[in-house]
């Protein structure tokens, strides 16, 4: 049953999802569309988050690296837009080199919000590292390194981690650091530079001392400037807890550091507090007291559950059923749409679809999850 579900998921990605998103998401005038309608047509009259361009760049670089799809042209298309219109406003920042991507563009590609958001820069680093691994793109690797330098020069905090962006804002969040953790490990994979893994280790220490609540086994999300949890640090997101489980196991694989005491607790807590037995899905958000803060279910937390379950299974935990069960639920719900290779984004607790569009940003979660499934099958 597990093998059948896994093979079905991988085949769907290769045969349906990648070919569909390679064409439907591309804006011939530059970059990729933020959303598609449920009939697969683009929504082009809304602002664009530049990080979506980076995510799409990564998706087709990784797919190319795996040999699943020749996505060089698609990755190039989004990357060119990111480095062009997506990096507008750099004249407002001092220093040499690349000065990060902007936050938002207008539908016509003009600059809307010049914020240099740490969260977005993490995806520039991720995309650059994967373009180097997939295509030996030295310039992309240079952009990844320059982005990290920009963050360190402009956003590094004295008390650990980075500020939210330029200009700085509150609350501080674990989320940008989680994605920097991922990006730095990809940068290490691309270069084998031990400094990148050491930098990832700094974020692991921040996780241990700030983000992780050992008493409740929760991942705290929101903080004041001094890393004091803001309003207790919640609400919490089960999807992020699962994402950290996978990332911790990835860090363990590269560093040799034992993460059992964190990964096992986070996984169990996310299942205990954030899992609906009625739907077989992870909630979008829950309160610190376990109350259901958002009785809805986006697709990306389910993809992170699959990744976390695979990582835990590889570590000897008996969670294989979570892999096959979640994949089967995906096909019964989110993939049960008219467009082959498309997906619904969100359901309510009565299994009714809430979403009216397909976010292009989800392709990043999807590709990464299916890559983990494929590697698990191979092992």
- What is 2-378's CATH number, 3.30.450.80, 1.10.10.10, 1.50.10.10, 3.30.530.20? 1.50.10.10
Q: Which tens digit of pLDDT belongs to each residue from 162-193? A: 999 999 999 999 999 999 999 999 999 999 99
pTM above 0.95, yes or no: yes
Q: With contact defined as beta carbons under 8 Å apart, do 300 and 279 qualify? A: no
CA dihedral 61, 62, 67, 68 (to 10 degrees): -100
Residue pLDDT, tens place only, 31-50: 999 999 999 999 999 999 99
Helix (H, G, I), strand (E, B) or coil at 22: helix
Average pLDDT of span 248-261: 99
From the number of C-beta atoms within 10 Å of its C-beta (0-12, 13-18, 19+), residue 141 rates as buried
Round to whole Å and give the CA distance between 256 and 196: 15
Is residue 94 over pLDDT 90?
no
Query: Mean of the pLDDT values across residues 347-369?
Result: 97
CB 255 within 8 A of CB 249: no
73, 28 contact by CB (below 8 A): no
What band does 294 get if pLDDT is binned at 50, 70 and 90? confident
Q: Do β-strands 346-348 and 357-359 pair in parallel, antiparallel, or remain unpaired?
A: unpaired
């Amino acid at each position: 049953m597990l093998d059948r579900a896994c093979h079905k998921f991988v085949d769907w990605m290769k045969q349906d999802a990648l070919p569909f998103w390679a064409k439907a998401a591309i804006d011939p005038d530059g970059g990729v569309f933020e959303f598609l309608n449920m009939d697969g047509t683009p929504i082009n009259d809304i602002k664009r988050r530049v990080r979506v361009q980076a995510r799409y760049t990564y998706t087709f670089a990784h797919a190319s690296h795996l040999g699943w799809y020749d996505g060089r042209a698609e990755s190039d298309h989004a990357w060119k837009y990111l480095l062009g219109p997506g990096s507008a406003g750099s004249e407002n920042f001092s220093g040499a080199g690349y000065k990060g991507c902007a936050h938002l563009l207008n539908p016509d590609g003009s600059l809307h919000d010049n914020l240099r958001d740490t969260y977005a820069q993490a995806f520039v680093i991720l995309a650059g590292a994967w373009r180097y691994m997939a295509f030996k793109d030295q310039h992309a690797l240079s952009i990844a390194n320059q982005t990290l330098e920009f963050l360190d020069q402009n956003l590094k905090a004295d008390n650990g981690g980075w500020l939210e962006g330029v200009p700085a804002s509150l609350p501080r969040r674990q989320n940008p650091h989680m994605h920097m953790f991922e990006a730095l490990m990809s940068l290490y994979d691309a270069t084998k530079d031990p400094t990148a893994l050491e930098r990832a280790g700094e974020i692991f220490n921040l996780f241990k001392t700030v983000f992780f609540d050992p008493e409740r086994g929760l991942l705290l999300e929101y903080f004041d400037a001094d890393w004091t949890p803001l309003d207790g640090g919640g609400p919490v997101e089960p999807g992020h807890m699962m994402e950290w489980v996978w990332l911790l196991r990835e860090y363990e694989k590269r560093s040799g550091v034992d993460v059992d005491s964190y990964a096992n607790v986070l996984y169990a807590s996310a299942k205990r507090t954030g899992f609906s037995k009625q739907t077989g899905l992870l909630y979008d958000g829950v309160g610190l007291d376990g109350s259901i803060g958002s009785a809805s279910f986006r697709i990306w937390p389910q993809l992170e559950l699959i990744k976390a379950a695979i990582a835990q299974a590889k570590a000897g935990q008996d969670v294989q059923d979570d892999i096959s069960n979640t994949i089967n639920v995906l096909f019964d719900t989110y993939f049960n749409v008219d467009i082959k290779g498309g997906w619904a984004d969100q359901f309510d607790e009565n299994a009714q679809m809430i979403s009216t569009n397909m976010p292009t940003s989800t392709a990043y979660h999807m590709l990464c999850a299916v890559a983990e499934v494929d590697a698990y099958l191979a092992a």
